[in-house]
Amino acid sequence: MMLRTHTIRASANTSTAVVWAVSLAGSAFIILPIVFMVGTALKSDSAVLSVPVQLIPGEPKFSNFSKATQLIPFWRQMANSVLVAGMGAIGTVLSSAMAAYALARLRVRGMRAVFTIILVTILLPSQVLLVSQFLIFKGLGWYGTYLPLIVPSWLGGGTFNIFLLRQYFLTLPRELEQAAMLDGAGPLRTFFQVVLPQAAPALAAVGVLDFVSKWNDFLGPLIYLNETSDYTLPLGLAAFRGIYDTAWNYLMAASLLSVLPCVVLFLVAQRWVVRGFAVTTTKG
């Protein structure tokens, strides 16, 4: 007998109809803004400010994309974003995995306290520490560099990630690690060669999500970056809006180009991300 899923159904037909109706309505809500974004990016200057509003313009101007990337130093800023987000994500994955491993496997005094501290830190909004962190980074002499944006990730990147990865590590069977240690591998080697590969889905999830989050970070770069040539994409987009108030078409074109890398990354890593996400949250 097939296990029926738990949708609320009276009869097969109405339930299929309900499923389709809700799915389509919901998808429309999600997709329409995206289509609108693409359509606006392709509108000419007059089409953008004309009524009635067209979703997709009759005469798409693909040249908007290249023009938009000239109005701000787009490619430079994208390269900067790749650097910051990439370096940050790698650091996050490594350092949070290490901390998570310690909390999951190594049962020693004080771990509980550490764990509680980590949980409480999740509650801290980052803007709260903005001013004080600024003063500390200034004291370290890191002002005007990428260091304030990258180094914190390498030193315990994201308490939430630690929590997630710990959940995942708890699900891994201990036998492989024990076998490795019997073979003479030290803890670090065991960690890198045995544990991490097993946790690949969760690590991918953490890495991708952290990359996207750093890609979109706005306040940090605003405060710490000095030279326009160092700017990341969110700053560039905000700058766009500051200069061209109603140039929605170029703004959407630039925005579209700036989100593409993250979308591509997600699609490539999708299966891993979903799996990693799912496993860690169900064991919560």
Site for another protein in 238-277 (CB under 8 A): 238-243, 245-246, 248, 251-252, 255, 258-259, 262-263, 265-267, 270, 274, 277
In the complex, minimum distance from the CB of residue 44 to another protein, in angstroms, rounded to a whole number: 13
Nearer to another protein, 49 or 79 (CB): 49
From candidates 56, 79, 124, 170, binder to another protein by CB under 8 A: 124
Identify which range of 61-69, 75-83, 119-127, 196-204 contacts another protein by CB under 8 A.
Answer: 119-127
> Which positions from 196 through 215 interact with another protein, judged by CB under 8 A?
209, 212-213, 215
Nearest to 251 by CA among 80, 48, 50, 84: 48
Binding-site member from 187, 192, 198, 272 for another protein (CB under 8 A)? 187
Quick one: 170 or 278, whose CB is closer to another protein? Answer: 278
Q: Is the dihedral of CA 245, 246, 247, 249 positive or negative?
A: positive
Rg (CA), the chain: 24
Peptide bond into 52 cis (omega under 30): yes
Does position 155 interact with another protein (CB under 8 A)? The reply is yes
The residue (of 83 and 181) whose beta carbon lies closer to another protein is 181
Does 182 engage in binding with another protein (CB under 8 A)?
A: yes
Given 14, 66, 178, 193, the residue binding another protein (CB under 8 A): 178
Q: At what angle do helices 63-71 and 233-243 cross, to 10 degrees?
A: 90
81 binds another protein (CB under 8 A): no
Q: How far is the CB of 62 from another protein (least distance, A)?
A: 19
Buried (b) or exposed (e) across 115-145, using 16+ Cβ within 10 A? eeebeeeeeeeeeeeeeebeeebeeeebeeb
Instruction: Provide the phi-psi class of 39: left if phi over 0, else alpha when psi is between -120 and 50, else beta.
Output: alpha
Three-state SS at 55: coil
| Separation CA 222–CA 229 (nearest Å) | 13
Would you mind telling me the total number of residues written for the chain in this entry?
A: 284
